[in-house]
Amino acid sequence: MSLYPIKFTPLYKYRIWGGEKLKTVLHKDYQEDHIGESWEISDVKGDETVVSEGVLKGKTLRALIEAYKEDVVGKTVYNVFGAEFPLLIKFIDAKTPLSIQVHPSNEIAKERHNSFGKNEMWYVMEAEKDAELIVGFNQQVDKTSYVKALVSGQILDVLNNDTVSKGDTYYIPTGRIHAIGAGVMLAEIQQTSDITYRIYDYDRVDATTGKTRELHTELAVDVIDYSVSDSYKTKYTKPDHATNTLVHSPYFKTNIVNVKGEMQKDYTALDSFVIYICVEGEFELIWNDVPYKLVKGETIFLPALIDAVTLQSTNADVLEVYY
């Protein structure tokens, strides 16, 4: 049984802030209301995505790594992580704002939760007029002034709000306070972790529980990065029919690929899996003379042993992710 370009069946997650765009814009197949997240590729325990087609259909990513080892993820990734997959790929639709939150570092997450930390990045796919993201602080604060603002109900006054549009990209390292605002749909690439410290949640009551959601005030105070930046947005260019750097971090690397016509991709020198996320348009990936079609909102996983593929499109934007 040999490996091939793999699509996984997404997992759909109810969220108090979820809307309908994953269904109406990305054509995801679910019936429930308030679906806020589509987990495209996941190795989170209890939430493992499974292969959707081909001879490996029904197998989890973990099972593939256990069976094929570095042929799936590359020697470096396998040596570091073993059968654990280091990344979680999502689409997120926020009808109303997410909670103000922060994620712990690898070291603190390991110590407190026996988990990876949660460094992540956002690529905005759709944004309604005046939609915003909260990223970082808008003024210098320290632990004392932060707690004072939180307790007095003025926390929103010290946070940085950016009005966003399609294509805007943000890297969110652990410790950086953040929230997705209403009217934003985005692709999220992150470490495999579901550890979030919720700081402020607008006093919302979850209709499924009749209660407000738990806050993690004390846990968050010690992990927040209190520094302030002039700009939190990632600057990049997107030349036609080319690949360009988007976010390169110690945890994952993401490029933006614009495909207009036919493009050859050679991964012979890359010791890693590759994930393609279609964020605009549609394209065909061709491997061994077999075409795999992807439309906006679809994701495909290339095992590390696949060295070369061809991409074809009249005009598509694709996120290319690897370790």
Q: Which residues contact 211 (CB under 8 A, 6 or more apart)?
A: 205
> First and final CA of the chain: distance in angstroms?
25
Which pLDDT score, from 0 to 100, does residue 194 have?
A: 84
Lookup result for tokens 């890693």:
272
C-alpha–C-alpha distance, residues 276 and 290, integer Å? 16
Q: Active-site residue 198, yes or no?
A: yes
CB half-sphere exposure, 15, CA atoms < 13 A: 25
Backbone angles phi, psi at 109, to 5 degrees: -65, -40
> In order of start, what are the domains of the chain with their CATH numbers?
8-221 (2.60.120.10), 243-322 (2.60.120.10)
Strand, helix or coil for residue 26: coil
Strand, helix or coil for residue 241: coil
Which pLDDT score, from 0 to 100, does residue 266 have?
A: 98
Cα–Cα separations (whole angstroms), residue 243 to 75, 258, 263, 317, 318: 24, 7, 10, 10, 9
Which of 62, 198, 204, 213 is catalytic? The answer is: 198
Which pLDDT score, from 0 to 100, does residue 1 have?
A: 60
Nearest to 268 by CA among 300, 321, 304, 243: 304
Whether residue 20 is annotated as binding a ligand: the answer is no
Whether residue 298 is annotated as binding a ligand: the answer is no
**What strand order describes the sheet that includes 159-163?**
159-163, 132-137, 178-180, 100-102, 197-200
Nearest to 4 by CA among 289, 265, 243, 270: 289
> Which residues does residue 14 pair with via DSSP β-bridges, in sequence order?
35
C-alpha–C-alpha distance, residues 280 and 115, integer Å? 33
Which pLDDT score, from 0 to 100, does residue 116 have?
A: 86
Residues of the chain predicted below pLDDT 50: none
Which pLDDT score, from 0 to 100, does residue 160 have?
A: 98
